[in-house]
Amino acid sequence: MSEEQDMAGGANEAADVTHSGFVALIGPTNAGKSTLVNRLVGAKVSIVSHKVQTTRAIVRGIAIHNNAQIVFMDTPGIFKPRRRLDRAMVTSAWGGAKDADLIMLLIDSERGLRGDAEAILEGLKEVKQPKILVLNKIDRVKREDLLALAAAANEKIAFDHTFMISAENGSGCTDVMDFLASTLPEGPWYYPEDQISDLPMRQLAAEITREKLFLRLHQELPYSSHVETEKWEERKDGSVRIEQVIYVQRDSQKKIALGKGGETIKAISSASRRELSEILEQQVHLFLFVKVRENWGDDPERFREMGLDFPH
């Protein structure tokens, strides 16, 4: 075999080597984790709203970059828990971090290390996995302030790498993907090539309706409202009939969700139906119902529905 053939064979073998692994994306609430996961995956797998603690359980978004399959674990925002649901979400976030091959800490550059970010850095000292720091929303902050923020965070923890990005416009995101694709362990892919999430479609549909609910009623409705997909019927004409229930904790919240003459629930249903039709690529008949279930936040079954462990 000639030297040229030998080199070509080696290059082909290198090209055939695949990488795969799990990357836990953690950070304070509203740092932009869900926006970033959707950006890196290239499709919507995690719901986004201005309301804090929108993500409740770990959502896995699956991306292919070069010869690597990167499984992003979008964890709930880490904050000081007050209620049982809060405790379950924070426990889920730290559990996701400890199960990952690599941890990506996302910090809002505008907020810096104030509040929950400081506590998260302390918590990360106990986590052994490799860690990278990602500063988000860099288009809103002066360069010298970004450099100072990066230096301050790296003083507390020696990150393997620091990236500066905008999840909103995609700036810097390719650099993150290049790094992850080359850093994750060699090994076969965990999921089929065309799969972008491990979230069952019924659950994703409920999450999308919950997002529309929060976007419409950002101030008026507590984030403790909950959506469940109760019926999913594929019809002979190729369309799908979906029935969902929005659970609230009081009659006053039910009136808010319905709106005057039912106009609020109609608007939520319309927005959710449009997005579901695009995702499913089929006609969707969506029917929403609002029910009062007092103290659902103390019901272990509801926690299982959300993919959370019930804290005692």
Residue 34 known to bind ligand: yes
- Residue 36's contacts (CB-CB under 8 Å, 6 or more residues apart) are 25, 106, 134, 136, 165, 167, 173
Model confidence pLDDT, tens digit, residues 58-90: 577 899 999 999 999 876 555 454 555 555 555
Residue 131 known to bind ligand: no
Q: Can you give the residue ranges of every domain in the chain?
A: 19-182, 201-306
Model confidence pLDDT, tens digit, residues 244-277: 999 888 888 899 999 999 999 999 999 999 988 9
| CATH code for residues 201-306 | 3.30.300.20
- Residue 151's contacts (CB-CB under 8 Å, 6 or more residues apart) are none
pLDDT at res. 301: 64
Q: How far is CA 184 from CA 129, 132, 169, in A?
A: 12, 13, 25
Residue 154 known to bind ligand: no
Model confidence pLDDT, tens digit, residues 18-61: 999 999 888 887 788 888 988 998 877 765 544 334 444 557 78
Per the model's pLDDT, the better-predicted residue between 198 and 222 turns out to be 198
pLDDT at res. 268: 94
pLDDT at res. 305: 60
Residue 137 known to bind ligand: yes
pLDDT at res. 55: 44
Mean pLDDT confidence for 216-240: 81
Per the model's pLDDT, the better-predicted residue between 221 and 51 turns out to be 221
Model confidence pLDDT, tens digit, residues 291-307: 988 766 666 665 566 55
Q: Rounded to two decimals, what is the model's pTM?
A: 0.66
pLDDT at res. 8: 47
Residue 116 known to bind ligand: no
Model confidence pLDDT, tens digit, residues 77-128: 554 545 555 555 555 555 656 778 999 999 999 999 987 888 888 888 888 8
Question: What are the contacts of 113-119 at 24+ separation with CB within 8 A?
Answer: 113/149, 113/152, 113/153, 115/28, 116/28, 116/29, 116/77, 116/78, 116/79, 116/80, 117/27, 117/28, 119/78, 119/80
**Integer Cα distance of 179 and 18 in angstroms:** 14
Residue 66 known to bind ligand: no
Residue 81 known to bind ligand: no
Residue 33 known to bind ligand: yes
Per the model's pLDDT, the better-predicted residue between 17 and 82 turns out to be 17
pLDDT at res. 81: 44
Residue 12 known to bind ligand: no
CATH classification (class only), 19-182: alpha beta
**Integer Cα distance of 153 and 136 in angstroms:** 14
DSSP code for 250? S
**Integer Cα distance of 216 and 225 in angstroms:** 13
Strands 59-65 and 68-74, by their bridges, are antiparallel
- Can you list the alpha helix ranges (DSSP code H) found in the chain? 3-16, 33-41, 84-99, 116-124, 143-156, 173-183, 201-216, 251-258, 263-280, 300-305
Residue 157 known to bind ligand: no
Residue 76 known to bind ligand: yes
Q: In the chain, how long is the greatest CA-to-CA distance?
A: 81
pLDDT score of 281 more than 80 = yes
Mean pLDDT confidence for 221-229: 73
pLDDT at res. 50: 44
Mean pLDDT confidence for 180-209: 87
Residue 93 known to bind ligand: no
- Closest Cα partner for 107 from 72, 137, 151? 137
- On the CB side of 230, CA atoms within 13 Å amount to 13
**Integer Cα distance of 305 and 303 in angstroms:** 5
Residue 174 known to bind ligand: no
- Two tokens at 284? 């969707």
Residue 209 known to bind ligand: no
- Two tokens at 28? 């304070």
pLDDT score of 146 more than 80 = yes
pLDDT at res. 11: 46
Residue 77 known to bind ligand: yes
